[in-house]
């Protein structure tokens, strides 16, 4: 990392307390760089610094002004670290004083990670309006649901106004159609006032295909590696110091200037870096420095297609120091246990036994042979606490990457939906909900983009069709370019007033509250868990233990009544919840308490009893 004092801090445009602009851009191969003030046409020359940087301090650029950079007297580009693109990705950048916001959350302290109950949402489809302001109007709803952290899918500027967010090309810029810089800052501030932490999904493994200007400024990419989405970012080749700084400072910006509580870093297995200090470790170290300065805790959570504990191991133990990771394997095992199709990568997972293994071991593939991968895969996750793993029954990927984008509500019965929700909440891991699942949203969440390049748009359509060939699906996927596809993916808030959606929502509230108040369920110590799998019965019996309480959960994935027994020497067992109860639109209300003996549980049901230790 470059340490020269003149080059530290955020790239792009920043302002001091006197509204003097500090402008820093990296263009190592340029002969000259000028700042072009769009409205006046005036050009200001930047000074060449070391390592390929260009610097200017001026009072002629003011917040709100439109500007661009001109390289070598001919190439005109936007600011790669632009904070605002009011005319879209192909237009000029707008100067923003990101620090000029009236924060009222100075007393806010991040929630302990083990107490996170995450709600993933997409800013464009969570509400009819599709803006940060409209999300603010739903914060009370999320608090009442029991959520403790919202996770926002990527908001960096992309082409048009419709995109999942993973095609962003300005990593520092907040999508203008959502509300831009001020809209996001206001949402975070309001969330903290309501007691909600905010996680932001960021993409450091690739750049989007349209409007990507980084290569015009310098060697931001390397030909040494490739990702599924194109050339890899240059994190360990020649000139990589500046590229690393660009993304490290981006992570710090979200924490420092937007008060974001945690980053969910997309597909970090596609970050190609063989440096002695991995990019993620560098982000960890710099984040810790910021925490020492501010006293604010910030979490780093990764998505990765690797069962590799090096990512979540502390830096002092030779790891990258990430606070947590998503485990897709839990989802896959849960999906096949619910009777859904075992095709594609789901073919590696056995109903019931794979799920029981994920409960016990986090990773299903922890050094054993994977038929789908045709090799041994993963390492054991022994010793890593439950709060380092995020689990879910659905998320944006596993819905939207289906050809038709069907949600779980369209794939399984109402009873199975309740069972899947319970399966997530009973785990010793951090639970995540995807927007609308709590009321059984019936609209799909489909893949959508709004590229303006016709050839690129057609390539996306063809790519989607090829992607589903591996799943042997017939028919055509919805057109990702169509506005109808986007609108069809919006939540239907009016369903909250209808059955069975209203009952399912109350059921989710009950589950979340139990997770919070019952000591054994709030416990993320993986050693305080025992799990038994009965694949012939399609049944899992799980014990959760704390110093105060013993809980037993019965997960019946079969379509038949199943029986199980409770230990006779534990005293009275009191019911915490049974999804089959009439209260939850079920057909079999179980006893409020039992002392021992056989208990019959309904088909496709989730049942939990507890007793106090030493009672």
The one catalytic residue among 136, 237, 282, 303:
303
The yes-or-no answer on residue 266 being catalytic is yes
**Residue where the block lists tokens 């293994």:** 357
- Helices (H) then strands (E): counts for the chain: 14, 31
Q: Cα–Cα distance between 65 and 93 in angstroms, integer?
A: 8
The one catalytic residue among 136, 210, 261, 266:
266
Q: Sort strands 118-121 and 149-152 into parallel, antiparallel or unpaired.
A: parallel
> Which residues, including other chains, have CB under 8 Å from residue 409's CB and lie 6 or more apart?
417, 437, 440, 441, 442
How many CB atoms are closer than 10 A to CB 111? Answer: 18
The yes-or-no answer on residue 73 being catalytic is no
**Length, in residues, of the chain:** 615
3-state secondary structure 132-156: HHHHHCCHHHHHHHCCCEEEECCCE
Answer whether the bond into residue 521 is a cis peptide, omega within 30°: no
Q: Of 577, 579, 571, 584, whose CA–CA distance to 602 is shortest?
A: 579
What's the first-to-final CA gap in the chain, in angstroms? 59
> Which residues, including other chains, have CB under 8 Å from residue 591's CB and lie 6 or more apart?
575
> Residues 22, 27, 31, 35: is their CA dihedral positive or negative?
negative
> Which residues, including other chains, have CB under 8 Å from residue 494's CB and lie 6 or more apart?
none
Q: Give me 247's structure tokens.
A: 């993304």
Strands (E) in 351-489, as ranges, are: 368-370, 375-377, 389-391, 430-434
Give the Å distances, CA to CA, from 562 to 351, 356, 421.
17, 18, 20
Question: Catalytic site residues?
Answer: 266, 303
């Amino acid at each position: 990392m470059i340490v020269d004092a003149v080059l530290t801090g955020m790239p792009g445009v920043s302002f001091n307390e006197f509204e003097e602009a500090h402008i820093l851009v990296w263009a190592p191969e340029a002969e000259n760089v000028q700042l072009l003030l769009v409205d006046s046409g005036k050009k200001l020359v930047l000074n060449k610094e070391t390592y390929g940087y260009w610097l200017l301090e001026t009072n002629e650029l003011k917040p709100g002004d439109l500007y661009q950079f001109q390289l070598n007297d001919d190439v005109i580009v936007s600011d790669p670290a632009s904070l605002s693109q009011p005319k879209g990705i192909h237009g000029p950048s707008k100067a923003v004083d990101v620090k000029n916001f009236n924060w009222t959350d100075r007393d806010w302290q991040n929630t302990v990670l083990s107490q996170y109950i995450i709600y993933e949402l997409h800013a464009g489809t969570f509400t009819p309006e599709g803006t940060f302001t409209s999300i603010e109007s739903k914060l009370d709803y999320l608090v009442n649901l029991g959520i403790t952290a919202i996770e926002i899918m990527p908001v960096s500027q992309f082409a048009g106004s419709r995109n999942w967010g993973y095609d962003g090309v300005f990593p520092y810029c907040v999508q203008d159609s959502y509300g831009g810089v001020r809209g996001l800052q206001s949402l975070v501030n309001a969330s903290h006032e309501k007691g909600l932490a905010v996680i932001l999904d960021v993409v450091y493994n690739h750049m989007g295909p349209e409007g990507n200007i980084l290569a015009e400024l310098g060697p931001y990419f390397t030909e040494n590696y490739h990702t599924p989405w194109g050339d890899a970012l240059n994190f360990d080749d020649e000139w990589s110091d500046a590229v690393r700084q660009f993304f490290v400072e981006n992570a710090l910006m979200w924490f420092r200037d937007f008060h974001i509580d945690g980053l969910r870093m997309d597909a970090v297995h596609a970050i190609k870096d063989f440096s002695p200090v991995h990019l993620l470790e560098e982000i960890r170290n710099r984040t810790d420095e910021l925490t020492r300065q501010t006293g604010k805790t910030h979490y780093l959570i990764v998505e990765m297609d690797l069962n590799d504990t090096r990512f979540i191991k502390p830096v002092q133990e030779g790891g990258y120091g990430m606070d947590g990771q998503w485990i897709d394997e839990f989802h896959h095992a849960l999906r096949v246990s619910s009777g859904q199709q075992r095709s594609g990568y789901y073919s590696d997972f056995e109903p019931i036994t794979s799920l029981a293994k994920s409960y016990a071991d986090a990773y299903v593939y922890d050094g054993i042979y994977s038929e789908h991968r045709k090799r041994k895969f993963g390492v054991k996750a022994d010793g890593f606490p439950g709060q380092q793993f995020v689990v879910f029954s659905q998320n944006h990927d596993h819905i939207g990457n289906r050809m038709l984008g069907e949600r779980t509500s369209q794939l399984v019965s109402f009873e199975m939906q309740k069972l899947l929700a319970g399966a997530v909440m009973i785990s010793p891991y951090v639970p995540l909900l995807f927007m609308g699942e709590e009321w059984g949203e019936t609209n799909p969440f489909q893949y959508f983009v709004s590229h303006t390049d016709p050839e690129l748009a057609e390539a996306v359509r063809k790519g989607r069709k090829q992607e589903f060939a591996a799943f042997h699906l017939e028919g055509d996927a919805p057109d990702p370019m169509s506005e109808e596809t986007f609108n069809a993916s919006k939540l239907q808030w009016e369903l909250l007033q209808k059955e069975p959606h209203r009952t399912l929502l109350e059921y989710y509230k009950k589950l979340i509250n139990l997770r919070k108040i019952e000591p054994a369920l709030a416990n993320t110590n993986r050693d305080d868990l025992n799990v038994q799998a009965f694949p012939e019965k399609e049944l899992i019996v799980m014990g959760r233990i704390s110093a105060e309480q013993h809980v037993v959960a019965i997960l019946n994935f079969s379509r038949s009544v199943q029986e199980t027994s409770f230990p006779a020497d534990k005293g009275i067992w009191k019911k915490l919840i049974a999804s089959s109860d009439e209260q939850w639109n079920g057909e079999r209300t179980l006893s409020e308490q039992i002392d021992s003996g056989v208990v019959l549980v309904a088909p496709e049901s989730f049942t939990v009893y507890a007793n106090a230790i030493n009672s």
